[in-house]
A = this chain, B = another copy of it.
């Protein structure tokens, strides 16, 4: 089934079930008022939501048009947003950038950070920055929402708690990253609100593309309507979602509704922008700039400025977005 959270004036929004083709939706209010409530009662709510989904998809019930512009983040305020670093080549590339920390790459254990989770953005909400000279970047990622995970969960236990999958944009202010890392307290100011796809889907909605705790589909990215990348999220994922979730539970339990990010999806290749239409490309600007610096001695791809647009979508083999598209513009924050 596919679910979304629609704006209704309340902090947690309104839970709806969305049709497989993303055109129609129906309120799930009789089952759970919002997604966190559904996750809190998943054993009973999930079968009821699945039944509602079947009725919606078969045309047996009345439905309304699904407007992704009305979607909040699936969990507009979540209790935990943990971003991993599943794709080592992202760090390999980005850490060649001036100002980044010259840390030893970790291939034995995944890096994780606790992100701010109290104000997550819907798919079409603007990226608000006070100053667009902060080197505004996006990071295209896969995110999963889990059930409750015991402390020191095994990989199998972690995998069993993957309930929902979507796409996210881990917005990064690169000029502030180096400061945050230098402080030693981790990302804080450099990571404003993360944005999420308009729809979340259970693993079965991805068919055979979901296996081995990875999503074997392309993540298509455009910047200002120009093709930017389409790495395969199933390729070069060194730490899969079971690894990331299990690692996150090393010293504490995770509750239902925990969001875990894959880290920036990146495939190893030697392309340099501009990326050809059949190329792999990049899921963030920092990586593109890093390879440009190596090749040309100078980064060419600019960071995002006011009004710039980024779209990110998980696409199936036909190129169709499975959980809709993130479609954001950068806007200057004004008090």
Contacts and interface: CB of A to CB of B under 8 A. Distances in A.
A78 interface: yes
A70 interface: no
Contacts of A255: 11, 77, 118-119
Contact of A115 (B85, B114, B257): B114
Contacts of A114: 113-116, 186-188
Interface stretch (A246-254, A282-290, A319-327): A246-254
A295 interface: no
Interface string A79-119: 11000010000000000000001010010000111111111
User: How would you classify the secondary structure of chain A's contact residues: helix, strand, loop or mixed?
Assistant: loop
A189 B114 CA distance: 10
A186 B184 contact: yes
Contacts of A184: 101, 103, 111, 181, 184, 186
A335 interface: yes
Nearest to A173: B251
A184 B150 CA distance: 26
A322 B7 CA distance: 41
A80 B185 contact: no
Interface string A159-200: 000000000000001001000111111111111110000000
A116 B252 contact: yes
B254 A118 contact: yes
Contact of A103 (B112, B113, B182, B190): B182
A182 B101 CA distance: 10
Nearest to A180: B186
B254 A335 contact: no
Interface residues of A, number: 52
A333 B190 CA distance: 35
Nearest to A113: B185
Contacts of A266: none
A113 B251 contact: no
Contact of A185 (B112, B130, B193, B335): B112
A5 to B, nearest CB: 15
A55 interface: no
A30 B177 CA distance: 46
Contact of A152 (B11, B116, B333): B333
A79 to B, nearest CB: 4
Given A118-B80, A129-B251, A251-B129, A186 B189 contact: no
A79 B191 CA distance: 16
A61 interface: no
Contacts of A106: 183
A252 B119 contact: yes
B77 A118 contact: no
A258 interface: yes
15 contacts: A11-B40, A77-B79, A78-B79, A79-B79, A80-B118, A103-B182, A112-B185, A113-B114, A113-B185, A114-B115, A130-B152, A176-B251, A184-B184, A185-B187, A186-B188
Interface of A: 11, 40, 77-80, 85, 101, 103, 106, 111-119, 128-130, 150-152, 173, 176, 180-193, 248, 250-255, 257-258, 333, 335
